[in-house]
């Protein structure tokens, strides 16, 4: 009987602890980077155990072989951070297909494990061609010391390769006004322009040219254009504005992060006849998202052409300070980075909501009653937890009574 009591108590504690564990996070670091074409760069695969005890991990990596070539894969500091002995396998590399399979590392020191963030692998790459390349982690497994598999969250990443500064003879950046000219600017009010960046690159048929911008105050990261023709050297200009563009009749419908103008080539060049596809990569400050209680997935790029219309927009990653997005467009004009009005508020929690929850919890405690949940699954879970707690308390009480009797009798 005593052994049975101890077994159920251990089982109860195990269920409670296991249910409270947070998923292990594995991510591409940095989540987004801008590199120069023809240069080597490194990408880290980082793991944050979030206080879980882990001792082994594996993954595959898929990358764009048309733009990138992997040079080598080296072990990071994740499993060696406490001085443990490890084994690391750099995987099987196939640069033609764009993948590395069976990259893994593990601790071989008996009883050793890690609970703090580190780098599992560092991958050195070479940029062969300008353009955006995605990094996708697959077949990811993270293990506890007892070989159980941990729950995980995966964050993929990307890199945008640009032509080096030496290949930008006509590039310029900084404040400036609008004012026409072949690829030279716009009719935007001079006093409304905060900064202006312009690059001249060649656009080719069926190839993607990436115009990437270096000013940290520019929310536009890259404008990627795939040509329908060999367009020759073409200017692409980004104007970051103080307020809504002077070229439009009304602000975009939503909460605006930034207003920008994007111009490609001379008047009339940016058409489906000349441009096969165009993707704009942009970023939004996390501080602005948090301050305005916005769901990051609700952010859109909106374009003005006889009225505002939203572009298909996708979140592609984030770093410590910004969230990154890409949007497809078929033309260039004034743009606005916005959050839809219906999705403003409620993200990360609103203080008034927290106050309501706290007051409800206080009322429940005072009335000594459990909250009633409409969802049957939630109700079943609550009942199960209550039953387990009741069993645990009863078993502990029985154990204590029996121990007392044995002591005195």
What string of DSSP letters covers 88-117? EE--EEETTTTEEEEEEEEE-STT--B-S-
The reported pLDDT for the residue numbered 370 is 35
Mean pLDDT of the chain: 78
CATH at residue 75: 2.60.40.680
The reported pLDDT for the residue numbered 37 is 79
CATH at residue 177: 2.60.220
The number of domains in the chain is: 3
CA atoms within 13 A on the CB side of 244: 15
Main-chain phi, psi angles of 283, to 5 degrees: -135, 150
pLDDT tens figures, 247-291: 998 999 899 999 999 999 887 788 888 888 899 999 999 999 999
The reported pLDDT for the residue numbered 54 is 96
Please, which pLDDT band fits residue 19 given cuts at 50, 70 and 90?
A: very low
The reported pLDDT for the residue numbered 243 is 94
Task: For residue 293, tell me if it sits in a domain.
Answer: yes
The reported pLDDT for the residue numbered 282 is 92
The reported pLDDT for the residue numbered 230 is 86
Do residues 249 and 286 share a domain?
yes
Do residues 83 and 208 share a domain?
no
Task: For residue 63, tell me if it sits in a domain.
Answer: yes
Do residues 269 and 316 share a domain?
yes
Residues in CB range of 397: below 8 A, 6 or more apart: none
Task: For residue 254, tell me if it sits in a domain.
Answer: yes
The reported pLDDT for the residue numbered 116 is 94
Do residues 93 and 171 share a domain?
no
With pLDDT > 90 as the criterion, what percentage of the chain qualifies?
A: 44
Do residues 157 and 172 share a domain?
no
pLDDT tens figures, 351-394: 333 344 344 444 433 443 333 334 445 545 554 555 455 555 55
Do residues 399 and 315 share a domain?
no
The reported pLDDT for the residue numbered 185 is 53
- Flag the least confident range among 5-19, 97-111, 222-236: 5-19
Of 12 and 230, the structure prediction assigns the larger pLDDT to 230
Residues in CB range of 244: below 8 A, 6 or more apart: 250, 251, 252, 256, 259, 336
- Flag the least confident range among 34-38, 328-332, 333-337: 34-38
- pLDDT of 16 higher than 50: no
pLDDT tens figures, 148-188: 999 999 988 888 776 554 444 333 444 333 333 334 456 89
Please, which pLDDT band fits residue 31 given cuts at 50, 70 and 90?
A: confident
With pLDDT > 70 as the criterion, what percentage of the chain qualifies?
A: 72
- What 246-252 contacts at long range (C-beta under 8 Å, 24+ apart), as own/partner pairs, is 246/187, 246/188, 246/189, 246/192, 247/186, 247/187, 247/188, 247/304, 247/333, 247/334, 248/304, 248/308, 248/334, 250/308, 251/336, 252/302, 252/304, 252/308, 252/336, 252/338
pTM value is 0.51
Q: Whole-angstrom Cα distance, residue 177 to residue 192? A: 8
Cross-strand pairs, 45: 28, 121
- pLDDT of 330 higher than 60: yes
Do residues 52 and 180 share a domain?
no
The reported pLDDT for the residue numbered 382 is 52
Could you tell me the residue range of the domain that residue 36 belongs to?
A: 25-162
Do residues 337 and 193 share a domain?
yes
Do residues 188 and 333 share a domain?
yes
pLDDT tens figures, 74-115: 999 999 998 999 999 999 999 999 999 999 999 999 999 999
């Amino acid at each position: 009987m005593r052994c049975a009591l101890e077994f159920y108590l251990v089982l109860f504690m195990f269920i409670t602890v296991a249910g409270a564990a947070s998923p292990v996070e594995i991510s591409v670091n940095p989540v987004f980077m801008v590199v120069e074409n023809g240069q080597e760069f490194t990408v880290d695969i980082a793991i944050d155990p979030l206080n879980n005890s882990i001792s082994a991990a594996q993954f595959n990596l898929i990358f764009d072989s048309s733009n990138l070539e992997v040079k080598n894969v080296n072990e990071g500091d994740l499993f060696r951070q406490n001085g443990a002995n490890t084994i690391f396998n750099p995987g099987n590399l196939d640069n033609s297909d764009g993948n590395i399979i069976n990259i893994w590392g593990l601790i071989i020191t008996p009883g050793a494990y890690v609970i703090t963030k580190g780098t599992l692998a560092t991958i050195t790459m070479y940029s062969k061609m300008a353009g955006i390349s995605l990094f996708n982690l697959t077949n990811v497994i993270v293990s506890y010391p007892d070989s159980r598999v941990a729950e995980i969250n995966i964050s993929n990443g990307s890199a945008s390769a640009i032509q080096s500064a030496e290949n930008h003879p006509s590039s310029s950046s900084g404040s400036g006004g609008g004012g026409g000219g072949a690829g030279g600017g716009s009719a935007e009010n001079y006093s409304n322009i905060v900064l202006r960046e312009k690059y001249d690159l060649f656009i080719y048929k069926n190839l993607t040219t990436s115009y990437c911008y270096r000013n940290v105050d520019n929310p536009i990261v890259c404008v990627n254009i795939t040509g329908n023709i060999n367009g020759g050297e073409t200017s692409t200009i980004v104007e970051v504005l103080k307020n809504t563009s002077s070229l439009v009749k009304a602000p975009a419908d939503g909460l605006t992060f930034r207003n920008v103008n994007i111009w490609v080539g001379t008047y009339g060049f940016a058409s489906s006849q000349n441009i096969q596809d165009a993707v704009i990569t942009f970023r939004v400050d996390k501080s602005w998202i948090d301050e305005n209680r916005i769901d990051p997935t609700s952010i859109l790029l909106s374009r003005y052409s006889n009225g505002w219309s939203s572009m298909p927009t996708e979140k592609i990653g984030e770093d410590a300070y910004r969230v990154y997005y890409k949007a497809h467009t078929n033309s260039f004009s004034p743009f606005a980075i916005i959050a839809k009005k219906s999705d403003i508020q409620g993200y990360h929690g609103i203080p008034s909501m927290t106050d309501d929850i706290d007051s409800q919890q206080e009322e429940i405690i005072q009335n000594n009653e459990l909250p009633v949940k409409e969802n049957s699954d939630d109700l079943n879970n609550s009942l199960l937890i209550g039953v387990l707690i009741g069993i645990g308390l009863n078993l502990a009480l029985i154990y204590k009574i029996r121990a007392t009797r044995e002591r005195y009798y």
